[in-house]
Each structure stands twice: as C-alpha cells, then as structure tokens.
A and B are shown apart, each in its own frame.
Chain A
C-alpha cells in the first residue's frame, strides 16, 4: 500500500454511497453536513457503483458536492454517474485523494474480503483493531489484484448481504481505507450525517484544500507575493496556511 502523498485535511467528512443504479441522491441534510466550516475541513461524497458498467463498477467516484455540479432540487442533489465522472475531471483539488483511493482500494478490499463476507460486525471489529494497532497496511496484499477478482468480490459482498448491509460494509471499508492514510479518529454514523468523519491526522502531512490548489502550491503563491512585495496578500495567504481566516494576520 502506497503512502498518502496528499495533504490530509484536519477533518475529512464523507457521504459514502453504494448504488446498483446509475446515480445516487444526496439529500439536503447530507449535503449540508459536507459544507466545510473552515479551510482545514473537507467534505466529499464517495459513490461505489455496481451498475453493469465495467468502466466504473467497483470504483469509488469521489467528488466535492460543494463545488456545484449535478442537478440541485429542493430535496437535495441527484448525482448521476456522468456527473461524478465529469466532477473527476473538474475538481483537481481532490486529485490526490482520488489517486490514493484508486491505488489502494482493490488491495484493501482484497485484504478484508473474508471478514467483509462474514458480516458487518466482524469486519468493523477487525478494521478497528487493526487501525488501533496501526496494522491496517500490513494486511494488504503485495500483488496486483485483478479487476475481474475485484468486481467479483464487490458482487459477492452485495449478494451475500444485500444492498443495504453491503452499503454499510463498503462504508466501513472506505472509512478505514482513508483512515489508513493517517487519521487516528474514525467516526462512522450509522444514523446521523455525515456517514463518516475522520479526524486527528497524524504525521506532518496535514494541510488544506484551498480550492483547486494544494498547500504546496499556496506556499509558492505566498512566496511569489512576498517576492512581488505584495505584503498584504502575502499576510492573508500566510493566515490561510496557518489554518486561520485570511483577515486574521492583517491585524
């Protein structure tokens, strides 16, 4: 399993969905739960498809619902497969998190195939124990998991437990997959919103998602402002880099 190269937001919130149709609905409450309170929080929606489309089946499609796309109604947001695929092209700030999930998801599912087939509780217990021990990664196979086997595993889990329970199983797997990138705290809300909240990032890979820019890019922007003697802008950017409001450094 590769190390997370992306900057972990301090809090990562996610609505995690499994669908056998061509889209999912995100109600108002769910959508609102993903609205970031500050620059160090990230809200995403992750959808796992199994809709007889080999191009997306078994893949997590991840998007930021706060960046407008799809069809918004009073009831909430209807997100189609095409919306998500478009969002993948149009939300570069999530590029790294998507890459992390894409690189590790097949191996992660393969590693926890047996407990996942056994049921939600055994799986959660196993994931939680390994997460606490910091041993999630040690379980991952070193070989390349075949797409064919991966799709079969997804189908097998859905067949074994039904779509509803399978949805929770995949929710747990997705949560701990992201947690394995470096989050100590994993909260899975079976009733409330959002579905998943990850916090307490460890290590130094903690950063912010600033629109389309990574923290490194914002740092470069900061240095350019300084070089250009735009001190006001430099101070504002420095505040953002410190996790504060841009105006805080202006006194």
Chain B
C-alpha cells in the first residue's frame, strides 16, 4: 500500500467524521482528474468547473454511503459521469457520418504530420483533431473511450463508473474505438505491407 493511499485513507476517515479541511484536501487531490473527465465527456470549460463542484458536493453529502473497499476515484468518476450525462442529455445527440468520402467529417481537417507510436508527446494539431472526432461520437461510446483509453481505468472500473455490465461496456468501447479510428484514419494511416 503506497504512502499516497494511506494518506488518502486517513483523509477519507477524517472527512467521514465531518472534517471539512480533510475533505478539501481530497478535492485538491481529485479535482484535476474529475475536471479532465468532465471536459472529455463533452462539457465545456465553464460547465465542467460548475459540474465539478456539484460532483464534490454530492460526494460530501454521500460520504456515509461510500464503501471504502471501492476506489474513491472510481466513485467520483461515477458521480461525474452521471452529472455529465444529465447535462448532455439536454443536447441534440452527435451523429457520426462515415458514408464514403463525401461525408467524411475529417476530410476538411488539416493534414497532420506522421504520428508514430513512439512519439512521446502528441502533436497539438492531432490533439485538436482528436477532440473534434471524440465530439462526434455518441455520448456512451465517447465515455467508454475516455474512461478506458484516456483516463486509464480498467474495463471493470470503467464499467462500474457507467453502471453497465462488462460485456455491454466492452461493446460500447469497441464501437467507440472503431468509429474514432474511422474518423481519424487520415492521421493514423500505416504502411503494414
């Protein structure tokens, strides 16, 4: 067990006993991750800031229900996912159009330099393209890709976050990845002989 985990455990115990300072420290530890996930789920910057506060306020009110054998981060992702979905449900759903080249949504995007798996940092232009492609995915597929591939959760954790069985989650993840691959094809093309 790492020192970080022990420290978080102590903070959590104090917070559950009503210590607001301890809870504030937990917010500092997890806020970046929650904000990042909210933005990646599809909220804009100011919405994400506002919803992140709601996430932590809900967590504070629900601390008594939190089971310590679960990861605090996974629980916070779950609250964040639910809050984000509530917001996103009010919008028109995104629609991926990949019927041949004529409607390919990435045709109009600028050319990207070759992206190798060995690259340590992503090209800024590719990042922007990726954001735009992610925004075109249905919310559930997008959340699956964000949680598993960007946030780095395991399949089991990510399925818990979205409240789905693992098989259903894996199906969303695969569909999301395949759709994203199709959207990003000009940037990912490889010579595989």
Whether chains A and B associate is no
Interface residues of B (CB under 8 A from A): none
Interface residues of A (CB under 8 A from B): none
